[in-house]
Structures are given as C-alpha cells and as structure tokens.
C-alpha cells in the first residue's frame, strides 16, 4: 500500500473523530450521540460523492476500464472512505444504535476497500460502488434529523421517506446489481469480488426493510381519520 494512502487513512480517522467531537460540542446537549454521528456521516457522504465524481476520467464510460490499476484520485477517494468506515465502526460500537447488519456492512467495506488499496487495482469499480452506496445517505440521515428536531408524522417526513426509498432503490437495486455483475465477471482479486457480492447482499436486505417501512407508513397515512370541520 502506498505511503500517502496510509497517511490519508490515519489522518482521515483523526479528522472524522475530531469532527464528531466538534459537532457534539457545538450542538445543544439535547441532541443525541446518534444525531451527531449522522451529521458527520452526511459530511462524509457529500465528500465521498464529490471525490468519486472528480476521479472519473472518461465520462463516456464512467465504469471503464475494469480490473485496472487504480489512479491516485481513486486511491485518495477510497482512503477517505476507508478512514470514515474505521471511525464509524468504532462510533457505532460506542453508541446505542449497534446492529449486526450495519456492523457486517462496515466490516465488508473495510476489508474490501483495504484489499483494493493494497492491490492498487479495481479503482474504477470501487469508486463506482462508493458513489452508489453514498448517494442515498443524505436522505437516510435527513429522516433521522427530522425526528431529532421533533418533526414527526408530517407530509415532509413522508416526502423524505419516499425520496430516500427512490434514491436507494435506483442506486443499489438498479445500478448496483449491474456493477456487482461486471465486478464478479472481471479479473479481480477474490476479496474484491467478495466485497461486491457482500455489499449487494446487504443492500438487498436493506431494500426489503425499506419497502416494508414505506408500505407501513403509506398504509398508516391512508388509515388516518380526517377530522371534519364546520
């Protein structure tokens, strides 16, 4: 692994941890640890999407070439996300929102990104995967921000839920399976293929949970009695 990648990863872990500390000190005490980590997660999602877009060299074929040597821009984008995943796994363990599926997602990402950086290959596929997985993250956290601000059961909540479900479905269940297929088919190291398959499996599980959530909310909203006014 390149020395600058190690430096970016270590400095990234320090940066995200510092960002969480700053956010917790700036926000009023009524906001939970989970709320603060979601602010940092939104910061990472925004930077990750931007770095992924900046690393594309040929917009006529954004996912070309496959199984190729990673460019410095791709390596830096992946190092930033690796540092965030390491930080966020620790934050998840320390917080009160730990779930097995989220921990598996983090571990798969850490091992896969680490392998890609060590091999210095598959930058195109991995950066495309980074873009796919992070584009729906702001809407995911916007849902929880509204709850933290005391805004519940309003048309705004439902709109954000629908926007999250749509962006997640288009990215992870639309583009995601194609990217997984080409990654598995290309001459990539086993760990990269395992990461691609594992992330798609976790995304499919979350897609099922999102559909159930949206179905429940739409049914509940449809069943809400209307108060007759005179």
Buried b (16+ CB within 10 A) or exposed e, 42-58: bbbbeebbebbeebbee
Q: What is the pTM of this model?
A: 0.84
Neighbours of 197 (CB within 10 A): 15
Which of 10-19, 104-113, 129-138, 162-171 is predicted most confidently?
A: 10-19
| Helices 155-170, 137-148: inter-axial angle, 10-degree rounding | 160
Q: What is the mean pLDDT of the chain?
A: 88
Binned at pLDDT 50, 70 and 90, residue 153 comes out as: confident
Helices assigned H by DSSP within 27-136: 33-54, 72-94, 100-119, 123-134
């Amino acid at each position: 692994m390149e020395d600058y990648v190690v430096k970016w990863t270590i400095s990234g872990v320090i940066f995200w941890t510092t960002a969480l500390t700053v956010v917790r000190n700036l926000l009023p005490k009524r906001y939970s640890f989970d709320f603060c980590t979601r602010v940092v997660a939104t910061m990472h999602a925004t930077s990750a999407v931007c770095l992924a877009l900046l690393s594309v060299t040929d917009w006529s074929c954004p996912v070309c070439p496959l199984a190729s040597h990673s460019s410095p821009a791709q390596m830096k984008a992946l190092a930033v996300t690796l540092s965030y995943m390491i930080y966020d796994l620790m934050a998840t363990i320390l917080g009160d929102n730990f779930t097995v599926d989220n921990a598996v997602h983090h571990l798969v990402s850490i091992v896969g990104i680490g392998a890609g950086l060590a091999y210095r290959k598959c930058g195109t596929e991995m950066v495309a995967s980074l873009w796919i997985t992070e584009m729906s993250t702001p809407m995911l956290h916007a849902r929880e921000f509204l709850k933290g601000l005391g805004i519940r059961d309003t048309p705004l909540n439902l709109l954000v839920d629908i926007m999250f479900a749509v962006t997640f479905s288009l990215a992870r269940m639309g583009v995601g399976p194609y990217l997984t297929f080409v990654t598995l088919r290309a001459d990539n190291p086993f760990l990269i293929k395992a990461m691609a398959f594992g992330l798609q499996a976790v995304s499919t599980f979350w897609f099922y949970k999102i559909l159930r959530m949206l179905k429940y909310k739409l049914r509940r909203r449809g069943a809400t009695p209307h108060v007759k006014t005179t």
